[in-house]
Every structure is written in C-alpha cells, then in structure tokens.
Structure 1
Amino acid sequence: MKRSNRLAWMGAIALAAIVLLTLLVAPNNTKISTGSTFNRASDGYGAWYAFMQQKGISIKRWQKPFSDIQAENSPVTFLQVSAYPRETTLDNQEREWVEKGNTLVILGAGARVTEAEFSTMQKSPQGEIKIDTRRRYQKANSKQVDLGDRFGAVVWEKNYNKGKVIFSTTPYLAANAYQDYLSNFKYLASLVTEKGNTVLVDEYIHGYKDADVRKKESEGDLSSFFAKTPLFPILIQLGILLLVLTWAQNRRFGKPVALETPVADNSEAYIQALAGVLQKADSTDFVVEMVGKQEQLQLQKALGLGQVLLERQALINFWKEKTGTSAAELDAVLKLQSHKQPISERELLSWLGKWRSIREIRNS
C-alpha cells in the first residue's frame, strides 16, 4: 500500500478512536440547561420567567453558589429546577438555611414510578394543571400534598421550623412546553410568591456564573481550565493514538506485497559502460566501425547474402535488386563507415538514423 494511503488510514483510525473515547468518557452535559430561565427550548423556563416579569413580580436570577445566599437579611424563596431527580432530604447547609424562615422550591425531586397515567390534569385553585409524569411521592400525608391523586403526591411540602421546602416530582411544571397551559405558569408563580419573599431562581446549577464567581473559582483563563481538566481521559486518548501510530509504522494495511528482485542485465550494463567510456574518449570512429559491421551483417542476412562482409558496391547492387528502391541512404552509411575518421555527435546520430530507416525498408 502506498505511504499516502497508509497515512490516510492511520489518521482516520486515530480520529475515530478519539471521537469514540470522547463520547464514552466525556461527561454528559446535554441536560445541564434543563430548567434554566435562559433556555428557550421546550424544557427551559424562559417563558415562565418572562411571565413573572410581565406580572411585575420581583424575581432575580441567582448565579452564585447556594452558600452565598446566607448573607441575605430578608426571607428568600429559592427555586431550583433540577435536570436530574434529586433526593428529597436536605443537607445540613440547606436545612439550616430553611429553618431560618426561608423557602426552598425543588422541581424534579426523586420519586418512584407508579401505575398512574403519564399525562394527567390535576385540580388546583389556579385551574387544572397538566402533569406529564408517572412519578409519585407516596410518603407524604394528606396535609402535606398540594397536588396529587390516589397514586401519590406530585407536589407536596415539608416544614422545617420557620421555613419549608416544596417538592415537585416533575421538573417541567411550568416549562416552555406548557405555554398553552397558563394555569401551570400561575400555579408555580403562586408557590414561589406565597409568603411574599424575595424570589431567586438558581442558574448556578445550570452552569451560569457571575464574573466574580468565575474568577474566584479560577475559571477565567485557559491555563486554569487545563489545570482543572481531568488528565485520565487525555492520557487514554494519547495512549490509543500512540498505539495506532506504532502499529501503522510496523504493519501494512492490507496483504503484504513481496518485493521483486531486479534482474541484472550484464550485456546492457556493459554496453552502457562502454558507451560512456567511448563518449569521454571521443572515439566515434570506433563506434561507427563496430556498429556499421553489425548493421551490415544483419542487412546481408536479411538479403540472404551470408555472413561475409561484401564490398560496398556489391551490397548496393544486391539491395537494388532485392528491394527495388533507391540505395542512396545505404551508399551514404557505407561510405561514412569506410572513412574510419572521427565524426561529430550530430553526424553520428544522423548516421544511426539512416541505418534505422534502412532496417524499416528491409522489414517492410
């Protein structure tokens, strides 16, 4: 296989290996924007956020870690739309914050899948709420359930001292996909504005961060990015690439092709060497003599005249008799070789050309 084709195959295999490895090892961040108010897709909350602003409700996007909310003096309602089902238990930091009188609203809480219909309409003071999930929370008592059916709760709340947590089994309670169901938008608005608290929407969990946060977390430049990049996937990719390169340098892609041993032509090599020597010695007369004899013998053989060199005139007469053509060129070549004097290279080439013409006439 040609080297260019081998390199092409090598590059294609290396690229395919890197792409495959990237797909297998790289973290799946395709759902990180689910629930974000910056997201205009069907699973985003951009339409609901605009709805809240049009209603004149004070709402802000929060692009900092949860721990930074601790500095707030007034009660806060903090809305989190989780891209993945999260536990219904709080960590110590969240629990302490809620117990101070704040409200945490979690859309996308973990719950088991039941036999409920996937699409249902749940009754509420704001109207019928469209719910698309079979997940139901079955450990809440009737006082805690805000939306639900016989299979369990869809939306429920749990008190923690002065504050409370509101859970929803669906993260799409008021997503962009439900713009035709205004009651869904109103219902979520009622949940977050129930106590008249400052409303914050968590965008930090969707990857949006304030400039000071990015700087604090050392994500502002390329060097810090590489410093935080996991080395294991990179090392695996480099290892596969090195293996492919090593294999390509030592093996062909395809059946091995045996090299043909060139056949040495001693006669041709001798003739070329002798021609080089004669050319340097300017011995054209020797070339004319030797070549002329061989050409004349071949001509006599073709005319049936034997292997003894004839006189020039005798050969000319036989040529005319046998071929019926002019013997001018034959006479010219025979005269030149009988002079036995050095000639120029141009004259030598002309002389050889005339012998070629004679052979063509002879063979025709």
Structure 2
Amino acid sequence: MRQRVIVIITLIAVVLVLVLLNAASYVKVEPTADSEAAPDRSTFNAGATGTRALYDFLHESAFQVARWRDSTASLLSHTGPKPATVVVIGDTRIPFSKTETKEMLQWVESGGRLVLIDRSPDRNLLPDSGEWTINTHVISFPWPELDPTDFQAMTNGVKSLVPSQATFFARDVDKIMPSRFAGAITIAAREKKNQKSGHSNASSEGEDEDSFSEPPPASEDSTASNAPKLSPAPVVSVADERGALLIDYPHGKGRIVLLADPYIVANNGINRADNLQLAINVVAGGGGLIAFDEFHQGRASTHNALIQYFEGTPILAICAQLALIGLAIVWSRGTRFARPLPLPQVDRRSSLEFVTSMAELQQRARAHDLALENIYARVRRVLVRHAGLNNNSPRGEIAMRVALRSKLDRNQLESLMRSCEDIINGAPTNAKETLRLVRQLRQIEASLGLQGRARDARQSEQA
C-alpha cells in the first residue's frame, strides 16, 4: 500500500510539472492582421477583408443563408438540403480541382445559381456563353503594407459608379463605391473559322459583319415549345471606362453572376454608398437557400471542432503528454523485470466437494441402487451399534433389539431393511422409490438420535 501511495504522488507531481512547463513555455500567437494582398474572404472573418457583416445582415434579415462546408459533390447528391445559390468570394485558399469545377458547372446547368465575387476568378468557372467569352483582368494590385481599413487608400482616384442599365441588380441602387483594385470584365465574341482554305486576310477584314458564327439551328423540341429562348449574351449591369464590373449570363438552366470587386461585399466596403443594397441584389436575387462556400476557404466540416477550439493553446500538448504517461504506465505494469513468481496455491477442496461430486455422478448415471447402498450401509452400522450386535447379525435380530430399546415397530423396521437390501442386490427401482426409502432411513436416525449432529450434541451434554 505504501508503494502505491508513492507511485500516485509521483504521478501527480509529474503532471503538475508538465502543466507548469507548458504554461511557462506557452506563447500566445497574435492573430495576423488582414491584408488586402492576402485577404480572408470567409464569412467567419470579422476583419476588414472578411464577409461576416454581409452574412450576419442576411441572416438577421430573414434570408435563408448557410455556410456550405461540404465539397461540391454534395450539390449533386439526392440527400440533404440543396442551395439555390452558391456564393464564392475572393481567391479561395483551396483552389477548385478539375472534378470540383465540373461538378459545380453541372449543378449550374441543372438550374443552380453561381455567384462569383473576385477580381480574377478561376477561368474554368467562367464557361463561354454561346458565342461569347468572358475574361477578367486587373490593372492595379494591392501591396502588402496597404491598410484595408483605410478608405482613402482603398478608393484613391476612384469615382462612384451608377448602374449601366435598369436590371434587377440595379434595383434601389443609386451609386456604388468600388475599390481602386477592382477587376475589369471583358466580353468578346468568338470569331468564326474560315470555311475556305484559300480565304485571304483582306477579305476577312472587310467582312466584319460576317465574322461571327451563326447560332445553331433550333431543334424540333425547342421549336415545338412556346417558351421564349433566352439570349446567351451576358448582361452588363455596372461598368466603367475600363470594362464591366457586374455581369450575369445563362448557363444551361441556371445562371452565373460575376462581380469583379470583393471590396463591395467585404466588411471594409459594404457600408459605402449603396454597396450593401447591390450585395443583397447580387447574392439574394435568386431567392431560396443561399450557401456561402466555406469549403474552399479552408473551413471544411471534416475538421474536428474541439481540436480547432483548443488550437494554439497548451491544452493539446498536455493531453498528448498525459496519453504518453498513461501508455508508459501500462507498458511498465505489463513488463517483468525479475524472475517470475509462482502463483499462490489455493486449496479449493472442501469436505462437501467429494459428496457433491458423487451425488451428481450417481444422479446423471441413474445409479439409484448405488446411492441407496451408501446411505443404508451407514444406517445399518449405526443400528448395529445401537443394538449392541456385530455387523454379521441378521436383520431380524437387529430389528428386534432396536425395537426393544426404542418405540419403533419391529416389523416396519425389518420390512424397510429388507426393501433396501433387495434394491441393493439388484431389484428394480426408481428415483421416487429410492427417495422414499432414504427419507424413512433418515427418520429412523432422527427418532433414535443417531444423526451426526444430534449424536455430537448428546455426547457433549453427557460430558
């Protein structure tokens, strides 16, 4: 017991030392300030470059918003809720793979609405619309030392813009204030390849009007329907002298919306002019569930929330060290450092073990005669001793002597002895008959006081 107390005290001391060492060596990691050169556009980020303000405003305004933390494959699954609009903001920390791009565009083709808000979005997420190609380019790039909270530095030399035409995105929007680092969207038509191999460049320059390919002929199914056909040409809602700032165009049954300046929806620019109203029109214009992509922002749901909560604290190191201590204790307890000690020999035998074993054996073997022989032989020896005769005396004489010395009936006693001896000698019997004879033998012993405990008590009284 004393050794165990010493071990417990030692373990407690080791744990306290580890806790003190971890607390002393812990250095609080200061969060890095937001930078426009490497922004964090997540809706979890409440800093200048984050989009927490837009998400909270939509949520408190009773819009259906959610943080989408699953992969794009879940958009095509048949289980779980499906968003009507997916919003991808900024240069994501985890780029879209080819498979994810294909799945995203397939979801848009089936009727989804994709909103891209970035100065230079992934080109693979901007498929051509009919004969039109969409490209973006950036003229001015932010530098690392730029303070994103400085309004003058972010909008130096930039004038507010008014909507180019009365589209849905321009509803209740008088003017917006983009940043000086906004991208420019260019829309160009793909040129038709010359069908004649000998066609000269001069003739192609003189036929500018015929340089575009004709739209494909309408199929029979489309001509049969009365629904109007949508134009594949992108619609420009906001533009400046450099190019378009906000466009949208159809893709399959869905639509793709492109806003070339994240500053309009970010925390540091959403309160400027009518940027908030434009952000609401762009993001929530399609109705239904709005899902902000957090999977590609590095906040996938596969991460352990508990580990993320304690990340950067000494708690994880302390738990790991305690686990190592536990493993060391288990290993030391299971390792032998000396010769093996013999196991203690415990005597399991008892006075009734033999009797119990024989009784069970005779019961299973249905050896009723053998069980009766064991009991009758002992009772006969007791009766012979009580009568003052020897073991060779006949049962009639034994019964007569016992009857003279007690109140037992001679004929009943002699008949009982005869029945027992007949069964022992091979007469047929059963368990019920054997039990009846044994019960009578026990009653004779009890009436004569010849049982073991009664005899011992009588002898002790006489002494």
TM-score using structure 2 length: 0.36
Q: Which has the higher strand share?
A: 1
Q: Which has the higher helix share?
A: 1
TM-score using structure 1 length: 0.45
